[in-house]
């Protein structure tokens, strides 16, 4: 698991401006706990969602098979 540390630089309207290794990231303020404040260090954990990958791959295969089936049916009816 990879962790990324960010500092809440400031809040602008509905966004939190996070600084990560000199890069600025705009994050929806309502996606952070209300207790978080400017200057606080936060940690993001980066994980792969393998189950979602499998589901997405299966949906793509199903769609491709449906398109190919429709194409074959169209060719045989001509």
pLDDT at residue 11, as a whole number? 97
Segments forming the whole domain that contains residue 36: 1-47
pLDDT at residue 59, as a whole number? 93
Pair 68, 54 in one domain: yes
Q: How sure is the predictor about 54, in pLDDT bands with cuts at 50, 70 and 90?
A: very high
In CATH, what number is assigned to the domain containing residue 6? 2.40.50
- Kindly report the number of other CB atoms within 10 A of residue 14's CB atom: 9
Based on the structure, what is the number of domains in the chain?
2
Pair 41, 66 in one domain: no
Pair 60, 38 in one domain: no
pLDDT at residue 69, as a whole number? 83
pLDDT over threshold 70, residue 57: yes
Mean pLDDT value of segment 34-63:
93
Pair 6, 39 in one domain: yes
Pair 43, 53 in one domain: no
């Amino acid at each position: 698991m990879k962790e990324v540390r960010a500092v809440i630089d400031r809040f602008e309207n509905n966004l939190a401006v996070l600084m990560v290794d000199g890069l600025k990231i705009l994050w929806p303020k309502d996606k952070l706990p209300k207790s978080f404040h400017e200057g606080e260090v936060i940690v993001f954990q980066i994980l792969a969602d393998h189950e979602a990958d499998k589901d997405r791959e299966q949906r793509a295969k199903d769609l491709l098979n449906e398109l190919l089936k429709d194409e074959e049916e169209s060719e045989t009816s001509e």
